[in-house]
Amino acid sequence: MTIIDAYSILWADLMVLKRRMARYLVTTLISPLLYLVAFGWGLGRGISVDGASYFEFVVPGIIALTAMNSSFNGAGTRLNVDRLFFKSFDECLMAPVSPLSLLLGKAMIGVVRGLISSAAFMIVALLIAPAFSVDPLFLVSLLVTCLAFAFLGVLAALLAKSHEDMATFGSLILLPMTFLGGTFFSVSQLPDALKFALYALPLTHSSTCLRAAALGQPFPWESLLAIGSFWLVFFVGCNLVLKRASI
Amino acid sequence: MQTMIKTEHLSKEYGGKKVVDGLDLQVNLKETFGFLGPNGAGKTTTIRMLTTLTRPTSGRVWINGFDGVKEATKVKGVFGIVQQHLSLNRELSVRENLDLHARLHHLDKAERKDRIDELLDYVDLAEYSDHLIEKISGGMKRRVMIARALIHRPRLLILDEPTVGLDAQTRRRIWDLIRRMNSDGTTVFLTTHYIEEAEALCDRVGIIHQGRMISLGSPLELRKRLGLAVVERRRGGDDTEYRYFPDRGSATEYVQSLLPGIERIVMRESNLEDVFVELTGRRVSE
């Protein structure tokens, strides 16, 4: 029943996404393509990192970034709008479904959006850089990344008291992670103290996993475990906040 | 008499302030109960506790015999609610909004289709089923919310200001719907700012003020306690004196005893608004 109820909640968001798919695909590609042009072709021309061209190096990072942004916003912004603008989230709270179904349903739309955005960018990236490889470890890393950031989005939306709170969360958490999470540079080249700080960011582990899988390097299992741990922490946080919401 | 809603010393505190204070309430099966009170009286908090959205600070609540805290999931299957604010997903169509709610209440595919078609006819919106919510009028949205609340055939329908902001014609149409639902066996619990709505629809009315129930009874009983006839002596400006009498005869005698020519005097039947003002010191709309 939990999975069926979660799907029911996801179904409504899928209907909205289906209606806007063309627009969504266009808008979701703009940001990663701009990063690709600016960092891959612009700044990175002629540079090589960890034995690969900078272009090949940066593509998996941008995929991690796309997965993060689309999953976070896909789940978080949707839930924020449902809670504070449409006020339709109360209807879900008053339906005979478990909190677990509610959280899964609300997070899954983030996962779906994250996977669609990443897939769209990957298709473009494969056309430009055919050396780039997508293997099962790459897909698992991508899926766990989407799950972790979708639940982070749900957590932020449950905590937010206004639309501005979501924007503030984006500015304080997501934006620094965008540039510091190993997307555009190799964390391994940094001093230990800074490296330690950057490994506290989930995006660093996502970039590391996706890059290793895409470039055929030894796979960092500890980073995959770290993303899974972030997912678990965000999931537990969502449960606690949802329980506290009923006071 | 069977009970649909029962509360015992129900209280809710926010920051040390009691918003609902020891509320004892009993709503009988198949009755239409009006819950009146000025803004901030505790109506919405009470509804949130009845619908499991808010946990009571103390006291207990039962819906159809189920404990509102310990058996919240069972309670959620008993009631349907039309909230005061628009709570539809505006990016979905009329049918999709109903479909979502039917799915959440575990109706199977065939049952969902039949029930949605039936309810769209019931609220006279069949031809708008594929319209997006953001494209239909306020009255239609309210009817969609009523249809949604009824999708799982709830035994209790909670209506929080069901006709607020609607024109008189649409309001009458919704009154007819509420009467039909009640005659079909649904218990109705409603809050309203429109006194004529409470008088037209409710078997009994409870008046809540500062978190406490201060009066309870049928509209006629409440009026009888105050006096069925009222004389207004308007002395100019805002200075109006109201005197209540058990019947028209005694009110007439009083009017005849007054010196003519000095004041404007109006004699009329009392209404729930008079009851409300005398008890709370405020008008229902305040």
Pairing of strands B156-160, B79-82: parallel
With a CB-CB cutoff of 8 Å, which residues 17-46 of chain A face chain B?
19
How far is residue A62's CA from residue A32's CA, in Å, rounded to a whole number?
6
ipTM of the complex: 0.85
B106/A86 Cβ within 8 A: no
One-letter amino acid at A228 equals G
CB of B103 within 8 Å of a chain A CB? The answer is yes
* Residue A152 in tokens: 């982070």
How many Cβ atoms sit within 10 Å of the Cβ of residue B262?
A: 9
Q: Which domains occur in chain B, in start order?
A: 3-218 (3.40.50.300), 228-269 (no CATH)
Of A9, A98, A246, the CB nearest to B53: A246
SS3 A40: helix
Q: Kindly list the residues from chain B whose CB atom is less than 8 angstroms away from the CB atom of residue A247.
A: 54-55
A87/B86 Cβ within 8 A: yes
How far is residue A63's CA from residue A52's CA, in Å, rounded to a whole number?
17
Question: Which residue of chain A is at minimal alpha-carbon distance from B13?
Answer: A247
CB of A221 within 8 Å of a chain B CB? The answer is no
User: Is the distance from CB of B205 to CB of B33 less than 8 angstroms?
Assistant: yes
* Residue B128 in tokens: 């708008």
* Residue B143 in tokens: 């009817």
> Using a CB cutoff of 8 Å and minimum separation of 24, what contacts does B201-205 make?
B201/B32, B201/B34, B201/B175, B202/B32, B202/B33, B202/B34, B203/B31, B203/B32, B203/B33, B204/B27, B204/B31, B204/B33, B204/B34, B205/B33, B205/B34, B205/B35, B205/B36, B205/B272
CB of A13 within 8 Å of a chain B CB? The answer is no
A96/B73 Cβ within 8 A: yes
Predicted local confidence at residue A180, as pLDDT: 87
A247/B96 Cβ within 8 A: no
CB of A109 within 8 Å of a chain B CB? The answer is no
For residues A107-132, average pLDDT: 88
DSSP state of B127: G
A88/B89 Cβ within 8 A: yes
Q: Kindly list the residues from chain B whose CB atom is less than 8 angstroms away from the CB atom of residue A97.
A: 104
SS3 A129: coil
One-letter amino acid at B258 equals L
Q: How far is B127 from chain A (nearest CA, A)?
A: 20
Predicted local confidence at residue A29, as pLDDT: 87
Q: How far is A145 from chain B (nearest CA, A)?
A: 28
Q: Could you give the percent of chain A with pLDDT greater than 70? A: 96
Write the pLDDT tens digit of every residue in B251-279.
Answer: 888 888 876 665 688 888 998 888 888 88
Higher pLDDT among residues A125 and B62, named by residue: B62
Q: Which residue has the tokens 């201060």?
A: B214
How far is residue B88's CA from residue B92's CA, in Å, rounded to a whole number?
8
For residues A12-24, average pLDDT: 93
User: Is the distance from CB of B231 to CB of B251 less than 8 angstroms?
Assistant: yes
Among B66, B89, B99, B160, the strongest candidate for a mutation testing the A interface, having the largest count of A CBs within 10 A, is: B89
CB of B234 within 8 Å of a chain A CB? The answer is no
CB under 8 Å to A186, separation ≥6 — which residues? Answer: A49, A50, A57
Predicted local confidence at residue A247, as pLDDT: 44
CB of B83 within 8 Å of a chain A CB? The answer is yes
How far is residue A13's CA from residue B141's CA, in Å, rounded to a whole number?
20
Predicted local confidence at residue A193, as pLDDT: 84
Question: Which residue of chain A is at minimal alpha-carbon distance from B91?
Answer: A16
How far is residue B79's CA from residue B152's CA, in Å, rounded to a whole number?
9
Q: Kindly list the residues from chain B whose CB atom is less than 8 angstroms away from the CB atom of residue A8.
A: 100, 103-104
A9/B105 Cβ within 8 A: no
Q: What is the pTM of this model?
A: 0.85
How far is residue B202's CA from residue A106's CA, in Å, rounded to a whole number?
39
Q: Kindly list the residues from chain A whose CB atom is less than 8 angstroms away from the CB atom of residue B79.
A: 94
Pairing of strands B187-191, B156-160: parallel
CB of A137 within 8 Å of a chain B CB? The answer is no
Pairing of strands B212-217, B229-234: unpaired
Q: Is the dihedral of CA A197, A108, A134, A132 positive or negative?
A: negative
CB of B96 within 8 Å of a chain A CB? The answer is yes
Write the pLDDT tens digit of every residue in A57-104.
Answer: 888 999 999 999 999 999 999 899 989 988 889 899 999 999 999 999
* Low pLDDT (below 70) residues in chain B: 1, 236-237, 259-263, 282-286
B86/A94 Cβ within 8 A: no
